[in-house]
Amino acid sequence: MEQTPVWQVLRALPVTALLEIEKCTRSPFLNQRDDVVQLYKALRKRIANGGNPPGREVLAREIWPEKPFDSKQFRVALHFLQELIFQYLRLKKNESDTGRAQLDLVQALRELSLDHLAETILVKNEDFFLNHPRKDAAAHERQFLYRVELLRLAGGGARTRNLDLQGLSTQLDKAFILKKLKTAAELLSHQRVFKVEYDFGILDWLLTYLHEQPALLETPEIQLYYNCCMALKHPENSQYFLALKPALQTVEDLFPPEECREMVLLTLNYCIRRLNSGEAAFAREGFELYRTALEKGYLLEKGELDRFTFHNVVAIGIMLEAFEWVEQFINQYSGKIAPTHRESMSSYCRARLAYGQKKYPDAIGLLQKADYNDLLLNLAAKTILLKIYVETDELRLLDAHLDAMTNFLRRKKIIGYHRENYLNIVKYGRKLTSLNRFDKAACEALRTMVEQEPNLTEKAWFLQQLR
């Protein structure tokens, strides 16, 4: 039973939902099988007691006490209970989308030839559809469907309203444009990290079209995604990021919380990419974005903080030497990392903070104590040790450590960008240790190589060592 969808869904639902499902099992409209009622009661009792799910035969004896176990009969009852639970989830989802529910009602009334009732509902909800504060793609699509229903009712004789056919077309365009730009921004961000190539379809044409259509481009929600796409598509051009940054202050006025979170994360990915390319000015930009996102709760998903986001916040804070703030952040948010990664990520970030504060013994102790099963976290920890050995002139330890890192990179399968970055860290680490510091020409040549290296997250540190 533990692996069945029924048990997994019931365990995930709050008590209020479990009470509502019990009412559904007793509704003749939704269920007419007594065995489904009994099965649900038995399962809910186990959940209330915090116990594990019983075996099928144990449950069957509670439901059919006078009959021998029949696996087919049990599967049928379980199937009907699963369908009822799924029906409940669909109803709750539709219930939360008031606009779509009203449009479905209008459509049902129109199909019954009750056009006057359908039009009454549309008139009553006109302000909701045309002046709703949210301006995401779903809101524009609802407004488009609202206009479609007006048009269909007009075809049936209800001609008392101005149909605004141009508005119908414009709403469809806005809904499509927002969906296309949102998807393109996600693909562009993903493409940069994982070194994959996507076919973006009509994106280039759409961006050109919007540039030539100021009325559309000046729509705040479209402008946000346009600048986001252009920033990700042309990261070397800061004008799109500079246009995007102030607009993020109004993002919660336009989009639902989940979409606000996605937009902020896309912008943060842009900042991190510029930062990883050696542009230190974007550390401050990213830091302020993270602080704002934390204050608004955008970085938490179902109460948890993604471990990579946690790491990035710490890294940028240390880069800016905001040590006290970083320590407070680690203490406050480490408990919100998923339990499977909490200890390793918290230990690593504390080690990174100790390194930033030049507390090398503390950093080494934390790094040696933690078990880093995650490949990238393991490599990040090895990079801190590399830097400590350089800064403390532990050259023999450094040589052995560089050899170990090289062997590690050869053995492990690490995706493109990250593999290239860590190979470069090892390469320039070796060059740094063999460098004659009194040979100015050699120092300058190495400095030029580091500056021109496109994939080197520790570029600023190597340049500092060369100074």
Question: Any residues with CB less than 8 A from the CB of 25 and at least 6 apart, and which?
Answer: 31, 36, 37, 40, 81, 84
Mean pLDDT score of the chain, rounded to an integer?
90
Is the pLDDT at 407 greater than 60? The verdict is yes
Is the pLDDT at 431 greater than 60? The verdict is yes
What's residue 9's pLDDT?
94
d(C-alpha 106, C-alpha 222), whole Å: 29
| Mean pLDDT on 421-433 | 93
Confidence of residue 224 (pLDDT cuts 50, 70, 90): very high
Over the stretch 452-465, which tens digit does the pLDDT of each residue have? 998 888 888 999 99
Confidence of residue 162 (pLDDT cuts 50, 70, 90): low
Is the pLDDT at 164 greater than 60? The verdict is yes
Question: Any residues with CB less than 8 A from the CB of 346 and at least 6 apart, and which?
Answer: 330, 334, 337
Over the stretch 13-43, which tens digit does the pLDDT of each residue have? 999 999 999 999 999 999 999 999 999 999 9
Least confident of 149-158, 347-356, 360-369: 149-158
Is the pLDDT at 157 greater than 60? The verdict is no
DSSP 20: H
Is the pLDDT at 353 greater than 90? The verdict is yes
74's enclosing H/E stretch is helix 71-96
Please report how many Cα atoms fall inside a 13 Å half-sphere around the Cα of residue 467, on the Cβ side.
Answer: 7
Confidence of residue 156 (pLDDT cuts 50, 70, 90): very low
Is the pLDDT at 161 greater than 70? The verdict is no
Question: Any residues with CB less than 8 A from the CB of 403 and at least 6 apart, and which?
Answer: none
Backbone torsion region of residue 201, taken as left when φ is above 0, otherwise alpha when ψ lies between -120 and 50, otherwise beta:
left
